[in-house]
């Protein structure tokens, strides 16, 4: 009697095919493709290019405006507020109804927005 094939034979075949494919891609990209394309680097070709904007010459160490950090803190404030209010809203869904929960959720976010606006958090010229 012949023994049935192992249930892991298909997994082994898949791993072998994946390994052969990976090795073939590495060999083709490392040895064959450089023979097919010309290699003439120029200064203009080696410069970084991003969205049609000329690269900045000031380097990576420049100061960000305080407005950037203020925007980030406001985002985190409203994000954390929403993350803590959502489970509360889901808990009171049956007691208050979906519309009332949504309204209270949005009202709480609106109060936070009005508070930030009243404190001048959105005045960029300060």
- Give the model's pLDDT for residue 6: 80
Domain assignments of the chain as residue spans, ordered by start: 9-46, 66-118
- In the 3-class helix/strand/coil scheme, how is the chain assigned residue by residue? CCCCCCCCHHHHHHHHHHHHHHHHHHHHHHHHHHHHCCCCCCHHHHCCCECCECCCCCCCCCCCCHHHHHHHHHHHHHHHHHHHHHHHHHHCHHHHCHHHHHHHHHHHHHHHHHHHHHCCCCCCCC
pLDDT at residue 53 in the model: 67
State residue 67's pLDDT score: 75
Long-range Cβ contacts of 32-36 (<8 Å, 24+ apart): none
pLDDT for 24: 94
What are the per-10-residue average pLDDT scores of the chain (126 residues)? 72 96 90 78 75 66 74 81 75 72 78 83 70
Q: How confident is the model at residue 86, as a pLDDT? A: 74
CA atoms of 122 and 97, how far apart (whole Å) = 34
pLDDT at 18: 97
């Amino acid at each position: 009697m012949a023994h049935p094939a192992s249930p892991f034979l298909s997994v082994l075949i898949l791993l072998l095919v994946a390994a052969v494919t990976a090795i073939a891609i590495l060999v083709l990209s490392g040895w064959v493709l450089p023979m097919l394309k010309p290699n003439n680097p120029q200064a203009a070709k080696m410069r970084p290019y991003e969205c049609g904007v000329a690269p900045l010459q000031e380097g990576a160490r420049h100061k960000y405006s305080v407005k950037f950090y203020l925007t980030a803190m406001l985002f985190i404030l409203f994000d954390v507020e929403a993350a803590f209010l959502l489970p509360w809203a889901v808990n009171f869904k049956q007691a208050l109804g979906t519309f009332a929960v949504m309204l209270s959720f949005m009202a709480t976010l609106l109060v936070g927005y009005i508070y930030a606006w009243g404190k001048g958090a959105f005045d960029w010229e300060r």
